[in-house]
Amino acid sequence: MATINDIPDVILSNIFASISDTRTRNSLSLVSRKFMLLDRTTRVSLTLRGNARDLFMIPTCFRSVTDLDLSFLSPWGHSLLSSPLSDTDPQLLAHRLRIAFPAVTSLTVYARSPLTIEILVQQWPGLKRVKLVRWHQRLASWPIGEDFVCLLEQCENLYWLDLSTFYYWTEDLPPVLQACPKVSASLVHLNLLTTSFAEGFKSQEIKEITTACPNLKNFLVACNFDPRYIGFVGDETLLAVANNCPKLTLLHLADTSSLTDVRGDPDNEGFTSEDAMVTKGMLVEFFSGLPLLQELVLDVGRNVRDTSIAMEMLNSKCKDLRVLKLGQFHGICLANESQLDGIALCSGLEELSIKNCGDLTDMGLIAIGRGCSKLSRFDVQGCKRITEKGLRTMACLLRNTLVKVKISCCKNLDAAASLRSVEPIRDRIQWLHIDCVWNGWEEIGNSEQVGLSFWHNQVEEPSSLFSLMGSEYDHEMRRKKCKYSSDVSDGYILENNGFRCKKWDRLQYLSLWIGVGELLTPLPAAGLLNCPNLEEIRIKVEGDCRGRSKPSERAFGLSSLALYPRLSKMQLDCSETIGYALTAPSGQMDLSLWERFFLNGIGELRLSELDYWPPQDRDVNHRSLSLPAAALLAECLELRKLFIHGTAHEHFMMFLLKIPNLRDVQLREDYYPAPENDMSTEMRAGSCSRFEAALNRRPILD
């Protein structure tokens, strides 16, 4: 009988080359020696981990690697080629890297100083794709453009540049692009969506960049649309982008205020006090100049009014548009009658995000559901006039395609209402974000009450909304409603108490926002009791702890997530939780006690991967793992990967050695500004090395 080993090597090599998932390749390489050799010869992408002082031990068997990521070497954030623990000449280490990976054309590296970039580009002058990472501050003593001069002068084949996680000054880039016209003209991808910018690129700088790079296909840039600032982006700048780069297929223009992952004011009706200098007439001309657009993001942060006609022009001029994200655009869909208008005419859209639209109503949502029938993802944020009925009707219309939904900061949509609104696609949805605003659900706790809540909170289809759209549409919707009712009847399961509860069959990723001091325990009662395939969850905790009294409960409620049997990955983000890191005033809790509250019960979950962002004290730029947090994390006995996005004491980190199969741990100060010099008791390069050495000395059972 023939086996897979009988397949010719050429065919096996093609099979291996077609597998891009890293874990799958790792598993295959363990099958046999032959498979291991095939994996090594066909692997083209590799992320290097380990300590920078051990670069002489880098593997030399991956000769086909073209995409190399050096940004996660330890100690994280330290200069790659001048490790404080290494006596090796930086040139020698760089040469060693080139010998090990001679075919590299794509490079990602943490460039703490321009010297790192200068040395590495000398080794691979044929680089085509580069991503630079730096969260530490740029030194004022460096000349303008120092970070980019060597890169653009020596890498003549460069066509892809990503600076989205690289801190620099906006005035650094335009002069270098203008001084290297050949490379600038060859760039097709330029990502300048840097989250650490305070004001972003000025109008004149954007004009200079787009003039120097006329062949861009992907352009992402952080800027400022506030007309009160010098160099704000308005009509003139948008037209310059369209005229200078007519080949664009992907364009992101985002105000710097929109880049922070902070929840807006729930009482804000969606309108700002200032209007952006972006007119509907200019938008029509802007869209006309970019006929090849496939993805467009305009997150302006200031009011852009009466845009319905401009959205219709977007549909007629950009036939290939598939992804659209709008922030602070008003009047995008009037929905006055049964005839579609505005954004509802963009029938080719597959992903749509609407943020802070002050006049979007339920009728607008229904019109979008009717017109944009191919939507697989829909995000709505900060839209105060929409309700559960409108969103539920839209979900019913898009039942065959919609699998990803985000509902955030909508006044009429608390957690339970958000879950009821996506009820029509409950058996299909794969990705979901909601805000944990309970509005009374905190009191529901026992299983009997949960069952009762599921039974009594079924919402009838909003037939009154259907009838408003006309008799013909009403007849079609009633037909779909009957079909939907029969389709989902099998999606309920009986609990021991005899009540029916909802089953979210395909939900794999869940994202939650929750205010500081609130509890997570009402989540199952709100409607997410049975999620058999939920694998990953992200929890964002936000708010100011200062002035708050001690929570009434001992634990935040992470243990309540143990009812999801396949949950193995978690991102717990407390980075926007503000408090006192050192000494709290009398009667208040410091951040170590809040961390105990947040992490209590995490050991009951069977997590294999955890990303944790500690809370912060902004006054002293302090984000550090506390003693209670370290002890509670050590209770996660099945963890294999742990990434702490902050600092920690060395002896606190030693608690983590109690986790038997923990293989990968790293401290990442990936926030701006990253601390330049750790405090005397915080993790330093030597501390990181000692901890990693202790971690690697332990035997791993599997």
Please choose, from the candidates 264, 355, 251, the residue with its C-alpha nearest in 3D space to the C-alpha of residue 303.
355
Give 627-655 as a 3 state SS string: HHHHHHHCCCCCCCEEEECCEEEHHHHHH
pLDDT (0 to 100) of residue 309: 94
Please choose, from the candidates 539, 596, 533, 597, the residue with its C-alpha nearest in 3D space to the C-alpha of residue 571.
539
Q: If you write DSSP's letter for every residue of 47-84 in order, what string do you get?
A: E--SBGGGGGG-----TT--EEE-TTPBSTTS-TTS-T
Residue with tokens 């990434």: 643
Please choose, from the candidates 490, 643, 518, the residue with its C-alpha nearest in 3D space to the C-alpha of residue 573.
643
- Strand pairing category for 295-304 and 323-329: parallel
Neighbour tally for 290: CB within 10 Å: 22
Please choose, from the candidates 173, 168, 161, the residue with its C-alpha nearest in 3D space to the C-alpha of residue 204.
173
Beta-bridge partners for 161: 130, 190
558 CB burial (10 A radius; 0-12, 13-18, 19+): buried
Cα 259 to Cα 304: distance, rounded to the nearest angstrom: 18
| pTM, full prediction | 0.89
**Residues 624-670 pLDDT 10s:** 999 999 999 999 999 999 999 999 998 999 999 999 999 999 999 88
Q: If you write DSSP's letter for every residue of 403-441 in order, what string do you get?
A: -EEEEES-TT--HHHHHHHTGGGTTT--EEEEE---TTG
| DSSP for residue 217 | S
pLDDT (0 to 100) of residue 658: 92
Which residues does the chain have with pLDDT short of 70? 1-2, 52-53, 55-56, 82-88, 261-262, 264-268, 441-501, 677-683, 702
- Helix 146-154 to helix 114-123 angle, to the nearest 10 degrees? 10
What are the φ and ψ backbone dihedral angles of 45, each rounded to 5 degrees? -125, 135
pLDDT (0 to 100) of residue 265: 63
Cα 206 to Cα 203: distance, rounded to the nearest angstrom: 5
pLDDT (0 to 100) of residue 457: 45
pLDDT (0 to 100) of residue 678: 54
pLDDT (0 to 100) of residue 625: 93
Cα 109 to Cα 104: distance, rounded to the nearest angstrom: 13
- Inter-residue contact 307 to 329 (CB < 8 Å): yes
Cα 66 to Cα 105: distance, rounded to the nearest angstrom: 5
Neighbour tally for 554: CB within 10 Å: 9
> What H or E segment, with its residue span, contains residue 309?
helix 308-317
Dihedral sign for Cα atoms in the order 9, 15, 21, 27: negative
pLDDT (0 to 100) of residue 502: 81
- Percent of the chain whose pLDDT exceeds 70: 87
Contacts for 458 with CB less than 8 Å, ≥ 6 apart: none
- Helix 280-288 to helix 308-317 angle, to the nearest 10 degrees? 10
